[in-house]
A and B are shown apart, each in its own frame.
Chain A
Amino acid sequence: NAGVMQNPRHLVRRRGQEARLRCSPMKGHSHVYWYRQLPEEGLKFMVYLQKENIIDESGMPKERFSAEFPKEGPSILRIQQVVRGDSAAYFCASSPLPRVSAPREKLFFGSGTQLSVL
């Protein structure tokens, strides 16, 4: 039973390029969360998605960032025109149940994608 899979593990981009981060949730999980982690800081919530729906994007920057979780395939976090401040570790987590039940259902995290912007 594979865990949450994220790829790539490391991604290097130059300023102005696009970054695409992929997340395949655990089998049977249809709820996906994206978090960003900066050095010396905690995990910061970005977005919560269910299949084909964005449920909560209150943590997403208003510009350049977007996320999707299509009916088929992985969830994608897309960052357009990256800047150096986007350099961080981006973690995906999945859950089998809707968020309202989440307190009793722990999130399962992937190993993250380390984005470095040159």
Chain B
Amino acid sequence: GQNIDQPTEMTATEGAIVQINCTYQTSGFNGLFWYQQHAGEAPTFLSYNVLDGLEEKGRFSSFLSRSKGYSYLLLKELQMKDSASYLCAVCGNDYKLSFGAGTTVTVRA
């Protein structure tokens, strides 16, 4: 089975940095995805990691350590529009995406 854990909520100030951690235990590993989901909207793709290390894409970066079963999503220079739920998803041996429950990030002025 798949077990994916991430914090339920995080709050940060506009302009700050927030790091969302995700730990996983899965049957096999074929990559880890991060999605952003605003309330009532579709999840949208943010990043994909399959090798260890840091992937940087603008204000967002994602890190993966396969040996530790650990990833984080780093959001820099936070903006109000970044208030959303962030979903960690792992692709296992069956090539299905298994999602964590999501981390709701609230950005305050």
CB-based contact A106/B42 at 8 Å? no
Q: Is B4 an interface residue (CB 8 A)?
A: yes
Q: How many residues of A contact B (CB 8 A)?
A: 26
Q: How many A-B residue pairs have CB under 8 A?
A: 59
Do residues B96 and A56 form an inter-chain contact, with CB atoms below 8 A?
yes
CA distance A99 to B100 in the complex (A): 20
Can you list 29 pairs linking A and B with CB atoms under 8 Å apart?
A: A3-B42, A35-B99, A40-B8, A40-B101, A42-B100, A42-B101, A42-B102, A43-B89, A43-B97, A43-B99, A45-B97, A48-B96, A56-B96, A99-B95, A99-B96, A102-B95, A102-B97, A103-B30, A103-B50, A103-B95, A104-B31, A104-B48, A106-B33, A106-B48, A107-B97, A109-B35, A110-B42, A112-B40, A114-B40
